[in-house]
Amino acid sequence: MALDTGGDTSLLLGSTDVPPVWEDNAAGGSPFLLTCDHYGRLTPQSLGDLGLPASELTRHIAWDIGIAGVAESLSRQLGAHLIAQRYSRLVIDCNRPPDAPSSIPRISEATVIPGNEGLAREAAALRRRAVFDPYHRRISEVIDRRLRDAVPTVLVSLHSFTAVYAGIARPWHIGTLYHRDTRLPPLLLKLLRDEPDLVVGDNEPYAVSDETDYTIPVHGEARGLMNSGIEIRQDLIADRAGQQQWAERLARIFGEIETMLRARGLL
């Protein structure tokens, strides 16, 4: 699709594109602040389909399949503020430092992304200004306000992972992702491992690092918040029933965690 920005190259999102940030339960009273970096798979009209067939734009390379339904239901059940990002991570990955090579991937898994090849520095900066910056600015604003108002805040970053990556099947149903926080991740791991039917990954299938992640290092660790990422296997949350089941399970577990954190004086 041809570029259609009315000749104004400072615009990525046009009048028919939705804003990147989507929120739910902003007034919720839960200490858990939910983020969802890979919630959506939209592409701005000006970028068309990035040169990809629909079959690629619905795959895990474009977004975290199933996590939107889990995040919305979990947000409602906990009364937790959810901040989500609606554009595809193939436009710009909102959980990568913007200077990382994987921020706007030229190849994802084995798929070449034609719309990202040979991208000019200005075009990359435009995607950052239009999608990445508003999302992270909003998370920062919400954390600022909560800290100012002395509202207890625990950051939980929600993701999903493909069951098979580069031909390798993954055994975990769910994984925790963390780096520097020593308060929340052990509790979350313990309660997940108490569930008899789950294979739980400890920093599997991914671990958090400053080089490969953004949301947890910047909004969780640098702000001194308790935090963890969660990764749920996509085949378990491919339909509404699965999304609802996992949201209910996580709501129960986070309810127990809230009680434990309060008992320890951490909330």
Interacting residues with Zn ion (CB under 5 A):
38, 64, 159
The CA-based angle 241-246-266, given to 5 degrees, is 155
* Closer residue to Zn ion in complex, CB, 32/258: 32
Helices 240-263 and 67-78: crossing angle in degrees, nearest 10, is 40
CB of 150 to Zn ion, least distance (A): 31
CB of 63 to Zn ion, least distance (A): 8
CB of 93 to Zn ion, least distance (A): 9
Nearest residue to Zn ion on Cβ basis = 159
CB of 216 to Zn ion, least distance (A): 11
* Closer residue to Zn ion in complex, CB, 46/88: 88
* Closer residue to Zn ion in complex, CB, 17/64: 64
Measured distance CA(15)–CA(159) in Å, rounded? 29
Encoding tokens for residue 26?
């902003």
Measured distance CA(191)–CA(115) in Å, rounded? 43
Identify whether the C-beta of residue 12 lies closer than 8 Å to the C-beta of residue 126. Answer: yes
CB of 50 to Zn ion, least distance (A): 18
* Closer residue to Zn ion in complex, CB, 59/159: 159
Encoding tokens for residue 31?
């200490």
Mention every residue, 6+ apart, whose C-beta is less than 8 A from residue 84: 21, 22, 23, 24, 35, 36, 39, 40, 68, 71
Q: What length is written for the chain?
A: 267
CB of 121 to Zn ion, least distance (A): 26
* Closer residue to Zn ion in complex, CB, 71/261: 71
Element holding 186 (H helix, E strand):
helix 184-193
* Closer residue to Zn ion in complex, CB, 90/261: 90
CB of 235 to Zn ion, least distance (A): 15
Residue for token pair 């699709």: 1
* Closer residue to Zn ion in complex, CB, 48/242: 242
Burial 189-223 (b: 16+ CB within 10 A, else e): bebbeeeeeeebbebbbbbbeeeebbbbbbbbbeb
